[in-house]
Amino acid sequence: MNDAFGILREARTIAVVGASPRPERESHGVMRYLLIQGYRCIPVRPDCDEVLGIPCAPTLLDIDEPIDLVDVFRRPEYCAAHAREAVAAGAKALWLQLGIVSAEARAIAEEAGLDYVENACTAVVHARGLRV
């Protein structure tokens, strides 16, 4: 399945890579939206203790539960490394946020059988999918 809303419909646990504790950042607002929608969100950020009251994991490999979706808020040059980590962590899908495109991350994810979305906002896709 590579239908973006379908990926969100199936997901329960979302690792938010690059989640920010700063309310003005998009990653903060999107994580808040996903939490309100009932998702279990785990912020992934090595330099931060918590985001929205949820303890941060330094890396995807530090999460000790199944990850349905890795939602990435990092520049494209970091995405291939996050894709490799998502594969190693056993994630089901990799999603690069709006404005983020990485051919290398796509190749890594798809070769490992992960569903893949890039250049799309999880909150926007979710909200649109609810209206259909």
Torsion angle defined by CA atoms of residues 41, 46, 47 and 50, in that order, rounded to the nearest 10 degrees: 30
**Dist. CA 85–CA 83, nearest whole Å:** 5
- Which band of pLDDT confidence, cut at 50, 70 and 90, is reported for residue 1? very low
* pTM (two decimals): 0.95
Enumerate the domain spans of the chain.
Answer: 4-131
With a cut of 60, say whether residue 120 has pLDDT above it. Answer: yes
Q: What are the pLDDT digits (tens) for 61-84?
A: 999 999 999 999 999 999 999 999
Q: What are the pLDDT digits (tens) for 2-59?
A: 599 999 999 999 999 999 999 999 999 999 999 999 999 999 999 999 999 999 999 9
Cβ–Cβ under 8 Å, residues 48 and 73: no
Token pair belonging to 94: 């990799």
Mean pLDDT of the chain: 96
Give the residue among 119, 44, 53 at the shortest CA–CA distance from 82: 44
Q: What are the pLDDT digits (tens) for 99-111?
A: 999 999 999 999 9
- Which band of pLDDT confidence, cut at 50, 70 and 90, is reported for residue 130? confident
- Which band of pLDDT confidence, cut at 50, 70 and 90, is reported for residue 129? confident
Whether domain 4-131 has CATH 3.40.50.720: the reply is yes
